[in-house]
Chain A
Amino acid sequence: MRRVGLPVALIVVLVVLSYTLPTSRLLVLENVLALALFAVATNLLLGYGGLVSFGQASFYGLGAYVVAASWAHYKTPFWVAFILAPVAGAVLALVVGALALRTRRLYFALLTLAFSQLFFTVAEKWYGFTQGDNGIFGTMIPSKLAEPQAGFLFVLAVTVIAMLILWKVTESPFGLTLRAIRENRERAEALGVNVYWHQLLAFIISGAFCALAGVLFVVHDQAAYPQLLDWTKSGDPVLVSVIGGMYTFLGPAVGALVYQYGHDLIIEYTTHWQLVLGIVLLAIVLFVPDGLAGLFSLAGWRRAGARVRSILRRQAEVG
């Protein structure tokens, strides 16, 4: 019951905010929701699967382009593209995953990065279809969704439903097995688990939901451009997951919130946002590897305390 209470309260607050917040602020919040879904979907690989992918922006960007390009070229209705995008994400993830998952760790990360650079180049150079660097802009979403509040509520609804599905996945036998593979690949194999197949399945699911997050971006921005597939864009959900906590389901969503508002707050005082981000990341990796969400639980505090003490002790021994 406690696990359900907080998210439900959060949803209620967000709905109330949609009636009270000025448009500009509502749009920021909408952005947070899209990033949160992007991060939670990526964290299925990162936190649950132990797979560091630096190419999830490929699927995010693909989702955006499915809506934008199909509108620009075929006048496809938004609702059709909305369904097509995650399917396209899943298919692309099947192809990329089938190849990249033949390798491990660093090589896997590098391969996903290489693929994402490839798709980035395609988006940039295939002018006839993507309008290259200019990107695609226009009224590609129904006019109803272009209204700030309706748009926000739509993004909220999609995010909530998508997260419920992803949560279900992580609490299923498949989710448990994915964690076992993360913890100890050889041991899971020795139990009779086909590791490659499970990781591929996770990759496909993640790809589909990253693409869905890309659709939400289009609802927010009514645009698609190559930077959406850039490798720095792939870095966002990874950073956000680490900040928020990759071993809790909603950790990455917390991370998305902190990341967005932290960014907005910090750039008011300094131009060195990247520097502050770097310091925060360092502190989290060193002292609270369970992320900010880990600090919501007593056990998380204890572990963080023990961590700080042990680092200080080691420092004392060295110095």
Chain B
Amino acid sequence: MGVLLETHGLVKAFGGFHAVDNVDLVVNDGEIRSVIGPNGAGKTTLFNVVTGHLRPTHGHVRFAGEDITGKSPHTVTRHGLARAFQITNVFPRMTVLESVQCAVLARRRRTSDFVTWYHRSARDAAMEVIEAVGLVEVAEQEARTLSHGDQRALEVALALATGPRLLLLDEPTAGMSPWETERTVELVRDLARARGLTVLFCEHDMNVVFAISDRITVMHQGRVIAEGVPEEVRQNEEVVRVYLGDQV
């Protein structure tokens, strides 16, 4: 089991404020890793730097042995690192099927093909992903008409359809009903176990975090303050003090 994602001395400063402060993160191939921490700890910013949405102030990001520091988001995605956003971020006037087809086409580098018909291209591959996230019934609906939970699922489907090796999920179950949360947890577990995907996610629902994480990284004020298997983290005094304490 090799290292898939590695950050080294990663810093992201906004003015004088260090939102991400000297983070060394090592994610192994095939693991489910969660990043937890209070609001404003720097989790989303860390994701943004890793996926190229923000340029790091210092430090490096390596993915599958290649330096991807500061590369543009679409290049990072092509390396096999896909992202679902914390704020639901879909294509409002496009149907679920069209949206996912677009992601599949992007994976196949076929998006500038204007000779074939998109209805036929990538339809089967798209439906497969839509089935995996449980959106078959609403496949022909425009994204703007979906329920919040379904939009979150579409968010995951879009990331998944780009054919990643590493899936980054920013609070995948935020705002979901208990039933939808359970569906998402099962999906993530299935993706990692059955398809060998590596998952890096941040989440405030501790039931979800402790249920599926192989390892947990805890952030506070931009720094990593603890890391380990769920049991270790649960018993870490500092973690309990800054974060878990007010979760119970």
Which A residues form the contact surface with B (CB < 8 A)?
168-169, 171-177, 179-180, 183-184, 186-195, 197-198, 201, 247
Do A190 and B83 have beta carbons less than 8 Å apart?
Answer: yes
Q: Mark B69-98, 1 if CB is under 8 A from A, else 0.
A: 000111001100011010001111110001
Output the least CB separation between B248 and chain A (Å).
35
What are 22 sample pairs from A and B whose C-beta atoms fall under 8 A apart?
A: A169-B114, A171-B117, A172-B113, A172-B117, A173-B102, A174-B113, A175-B118, A176-B102, A176-B105, A180-B102, A183-B92, A184-B92, A186-B73, A187-B85, A187-B89, A187-B91, A188-B102, A191-B82, A191-B161, A192-B106, A193-B102, A193-B111
From B94, B110, B121, give the contact of A180 (CB < 8 A): B94
Q: Which of B51, B74, B161 has the most CB of A within 10 A?
A: B74
Output the least CB separation between A2 and chain B (Å).
15
Q: Chain A interface secondary structure, helix, strand, loop or mixed?
A: helix
Given contacts A177-B106, A186-B89, 19 further A-B contacts (CB under 8 A): A168-B114, A173-B105, A173-B114, A173-B118, A173-B122, A174-B113, A177-B112, A180-B94, A180-B98, A184-B90, A187-B90, A187-B91, A189-B72, A190-B74, A190-B77, A190-B85, A190-B89, A193-B102, A198-B112
From B78, B99, B110, give the contact of A173 (CB < 8 A): B110
Cα A176 to Cα B98 in complex, Å, equals: 7
Do B111 and A179 have beta carbons less than 8 Å apart?
Answer: no
Output the least CB separation between A295 and chain B (Å).
18
B162 proximal to A (CB < 8 A): yes
Output the least CB separation between B141 and chain A (Å).
12
Do B106 and A172 have beta carbons less than 8 Å apart?
Answer: no
Do B158 and A191 have beta carbons less than 8 Å apart?
Answer: yes
Do A195 and B158 have beta carbons less than 8 Å apart?
Answer: no
Cα A6 to Cα B75 in complex, Å, equals: 43
Do A193 and B114 have beta carbons less than 8 Å apart?
Answer: no
* Chain A residues whose CB sits within 8 angstroms of the CB of B93 once the complex forms: 179, 183, 247
Output the least CB separation between A170 and chain B (Å).
9
Output the least CB separation between B86 and chain A (Å).
13
Q: Which A residue sits closest to B80, measured CB to CB?
A: A192
Do B114 and A172 have beta carbons less than 8 Å apart?
Answer: yes
From B74, B85, B92, B161, give the contact of A193 (CB < 8 A): B74
Do B111 and A177 have beta carbons less than 8 Å apart?
Answer: yes
